[in-house]
Amino acid sequence: MAEIHHFDHGWVTPAFSYLLSVLGSLLGLTGAVRLRSARTRAERGWWLVLAALAIGTTGIWTMHFVAMLGFEVVGTPIRYDVNLTVASVVMSFVAVGAGLAIALLGTSARQLRILAGGVLAGLGVAAMHYTGMAAMRLYGDIHYSGSRVILSVVIAVVAATVALWLTLVVSRPLIIFISALVMGVAVNGMHFTGMSAMSVTPEGHSGVIEGATAQSMLIPIGITVVFGLLGMAYALASAPNEEDRAATEYLNARIEARMAQQAAQARNATGRGTLGNGAWTYRDRASK
């Protein structure tokens, strides 16, 4: 078996991958809070897409990609099939989006919806991981330990189910942050459990390995992630939350009440004139 290194750059790649998973989870959970309080179908759709992008692409897929930057099989270069790599991104986004939709957009059977969404999202994330691994090209045959593959899938399903439960219950910023830290551990745990299932049987160096290197994809993916994170953060910061809406409604109600009071006073002033020193009004004299 070929020698495999999962941390070829030391602590840098696992630390950065964990940071990305926490950031994605943090933005996704915040988006889920906004989704729960959304009042129109368009708003719910917008926050659903944003949460799925944050968790599925940044928190999960990008975390996997960064972790793979530290992956090395001694004695062979590694390339990636771009089409399969892109397919893995789409899988992660769709799986998380579908899970969020099932868990958050229903009105009944809450526990069943969380479980169904968690199973779907977890299986989708596992499929994303192993599709990404299938995109790998190297001089050798890749094998997997069945028991560890099953364990990684179980971790993915459990983590996804817990994540969906959190999207339904968390709302306070501190709790959201702690939940994001926990989700980051779960996502990284699933990835490295899946990677530990892998082994490689070396083969002769025949022909040229086709595909892109992880380093060649780093710049375009990095730029996309940075602008994506900034865009999602801006969208969350600029959109009104439930407290903002309540405050706006309160102020509008006060303004409307004040305007109604002023209008009533104006009508009274128009219908009531004064004579002399104001002791008698037109209406008073008529009544006499």
Its pTM stands at 0.79
Buried b (16+ CB within 10 A) or exposed e, 146-157: eeebebbbebbb
pLDDT tier, 243 (very low <50, low <70, confident <90, very high otherwise): low
Q: Are 149 and 262 contained in the same domain?
A: no
d(CA 128, CA 17): 16
CB 61 within 8 A of CB 188: no
Residue 137 forms beta bridges with which residues?
Answer: 79
Please identify which residue in the block is written with the tokens 């008073």.
Answer: 284
Pairing label, strands 136-137, 79-80: antiparallel
Q: How high is the pLDDT of residue 89? A: 93
Residue 209 has what DSSP assignment? P
Span 144-193, pLDDT tens digits: 999 999 999 999 999 999 988 888 888 888 888 998 998 999 999 999 99
Q: Are 70 and 164 contained in the same domain?
A: yes
Q: Are 222 and 264 contained in the same domain?
A: no
- In sign, the C-alpha dihedral spanning 68, 69, 74, 78 is positive
> Looking at the 3D structure of the chain, how many domains does it have?
2
- Most confident of the following: 8-17, 107-116, 199-208, 276-285: 8-17
Mean pLDDT, residues 237-244:
71
Q: Are 254 and 120 contained in the same domain?
A: no
Question: In this predicted structure, which of 70-84, 95-109, 143-157, 253-267 has the lowest mean pLDDT?
Answer: 253-267
Q: Are 80 and 170 contained in the same domain?
A: yes
Q: Are 251 and 212 contained in the same domain?
A: no
Q: Are 172 and 255 contained in the same domain?
A: no
Range of the domain at 89: 4-239
Q: Copy the structure tokens of residue 103.
A: 């868990």
**Beta strands, E only, the chain:** 4-5, 72-73, 79-80, 136-137, 140-144, 198-202
Residue 198 forms beta bridges with which residues?
Answer: 144
Q: Are 123 and 251 contained in the same domain?
A: no
Question: In this predicted structure, which of 35-49, 189-203, 233-247 has the lowest mean pLDDT?
Answer: 233-247
- The DSSP line for 9-21 is TTTHHHHHHHHHH
Q: Are 51 and 31 contained in the same domain?
A: yes
pLDDT over threshold 60, residue 278: no
CB 117 within 8 A of CB 103: yes
Q: What does pLDDT average to over the chain?
A: 85
Q: Are 111 and 254 contained in the same domain?
A: no
Q: Are 24 and 149 contained in the same domain?
A: yes
Q: How high is the pLDDT of residue 9? A: 80
Q: Are 134 and 28 contained in the same domain?
A: yes
pLDDT over threshold 50, residue 136: yes
**Closest-CA residue to 31 (of 111, 96, 80):** 96
